[in-house]
Amino acid sequence: MDNEQAVFFSRLLTELTLSFHIIYATIGVGIPLLIFIAQWMGIKKQDEHYILLARRWTRGFIITVAVGVVTGTAIGLQLNLLWPTFMELAGNVIALPLFMETFAFFFEAIFLGIYLYTWDRFEDQRKHMLLLIPVAIGASFSAVFITMVNAFMNAPQGFEFSNGDLINVQPIIAMFNPAMPTKVAHVLATAYMTSAFILAAIGAYRLLKGSNHDYHKKALLLTMKVGLVFSIAAAIIGDFSGKYLAEYQPEKLAALEWHFETEEAASLTLFGILENGEEVKYALKIPYALSILAHGDPNAEVIGLDQFPEDEIPPLYIHYLFITMVLIGMFAALLSSFYVLGNWLRRKFIFKRFFLWLIVVSGPLSMLAIEAGWWLAEVGRQPWVLRGLLKTKDAATTSGQVDLMLYLFILLYLVLGFASAFVLIRMFKHNPVEQELLDRQKERR
Partner 1 sequence: MAYELIGISVLWVFLFGYIIVASIDFGAGFFNAYSVLTNKHHIISNIIQRYLSPVWEVTNVFLVFFFVGIVGFFPSTAYYYGTVLLVPASLSLVLLAIRGSYYAFSTYGQLKSKMWIYLYGFSGLLIPASLSIVLTISEGGFIKESANSISLNYAELFTSPLTWSIVVLSLASVLYISAVFLTWYANKAKDDEATALLRKYALIWSVPTMVTASGIIVELRSHNFEHFQNMLNLWWLFLISGMLFLATVRLLWQKGNYGVAFILLIGQFLVAFFGYGISHYPYLLYPFLTIEQGFTSEGMAVALIIAFLAGLCLLLPSLFLLLRLFLFNKNYVEGKYKG
| Nearest Cα residue to 420 out of 18, 20, 117 | 20
Query: Quick one: what does residue 400 bind among partner 1, ligand HEM, ligand HDD, none, with the CB cut-off 5 to 8 Å set by partner type?
Result: partner 1
Amino acid letter, residue 231: S
Interface of this chain with ligand HDD, residues 206 to 265, rule: CB under 6 A: 234-235, 238-239, 241-242, 245, 252
Secondary structure (DSSP) of 199-267: HHHHHHHHHHTT---HHHHHHHHHHHHHHHHHHHHHHHHHHHHHHHHHHH-HHHHHHHTT--S-EESPP
Query: Quick one: what does residue 430 bind among ligand HEM, ligand HDD, partner 1, none, with the CB cut-off 5 to 8 Å set by partner type?
Result: partner 1
- Are 284 and 272 in contact by the 8 Å Cβ rule? The answer is yes
Count CA atoms closer than 13 A to 217's CA, side-chain side: 11
Contact range with partner 1 by CB under 8 A, out of 161-169, 189-197, 208-216, 281-289: 161-169
Query: Quick one: what does residue 29 bind among ligand HDD, ligand HEM, partner 1, none, with the CB cut-off 5 to 8 Å set by partner type?
Result: ligand HEM
Under the binding rule (CB under 6 A), the answer on residue 152 touching ligand HEM is no
Collapse the DSSP code of 97 into the 3-class scheme (helix H, G, I; strand E, B; otherwise coil) and give the result: helix
Query: Quick one: what does residue 144 bind among partner 1, ligand HDD, ligand HEM, none, with the CB cut-off 5 to 8 Å set by partner type?
Result: none
Under the binding rule (CB under 6 A), the answer on residue 194 touching ligand HDD is yes
Beta-carbon contacts of residue 225 (< 8 Å; ≥ 6 apart): 336, 340
Cα separation, 429 vs 440, in Å, equals: 18
Query: Whole-number minimum distance, CB 354 to partner 1, in Å?
Result: 33
In the chain, the largest separation of any two C-alpha atoms, in whole Å, equals 77
Under the binding rule (CB under 8 A), the answer on residue 401 touching partner 1 is yes
Cα separation, 307 vs 139, in Å, equals: 41
Nearer to ligand HDD, 39 or 147 (CB): 147
State which of residues 147, 223, 249, 267 lies at the interface with ligand HEM (CB under 6 A): 147
Cα separation, 53 vs 41, in Å, equals: 10
State which of residues 170, 299, 307, 435 lies at the interface with partner 1 (CB under 8 A): 170
Contact range with partner 1 by CB under 8 A, out of 71-79, 297-305, 325-333, 377-385: 71-79
Under the binding rule (CB under 6 A), the answer on residue 193 touching ligand HDD is yes
State which of residues 299, 398, 435, 441 lies at the interface with partner 1 (CB under 8 A): 398
Under the binding rule (CB under 8 A), the answer on residue 391 touching partner 1 is no
Q: Give ∠ CA 254-256-259 in degrees, rounded to 5.
A: 35
Collapse the DSSP code of 419 into the 3-class scheme (helix H, G, I; strand E, B; otherwise coil) and give the result: helix
Query: Whole-number minimum distance, CB 313 to ligand HEM, in Å?
Result: 12
Q: What φ, ψ does residue 315 adopt, rounded to 5°?
A: -55, 140
Query: Quick one: what does residue 392 bind among partner 1, ligand HDD, ligand HEM, none, with the CB cut-off 5 to 8 Å set by partner type?
Result: ligand HEM
Q: How far is CA 367 from CA 27, 77, 192, in A?
A: 9, 25, 11
Cα separation, 3 vs 7, in Å, equals: 6
Interface of this chain with partner 1, residues 6 to 65, rule: CB under 8 A: 59, 62-63, 65
Amino acid letter, residue 92: N
Q: How far is CA 125 from CA 37, 59, 134, 222, in A?
A: 14, 18, 16, 20
Interface of this chain with ligand HDD, residues 322 to 381, rule: CB under 6 A: 325-326, 328-330, 366, 369-370, 373-374, 376-377, 380
Total binding residues for ligand HDD by CB under 6 A?
A: 29
Contact range with ligand HDD by CB under 6 A, out of 6-14, 48-56, 179-187, 415-423: 179-187
Residues found near ligand HEM in the complex (CB under 6 A): 11, 14-15, 18-19, 21-22, 24-25, 28-29, 64-65, 68-69, 72-73, 75-76, 79, 83, 86, 105, 109, 139, 142-143, 146-147, 149-150, 187, 191, 371, 374-375, 378-379, 382, 385, 392
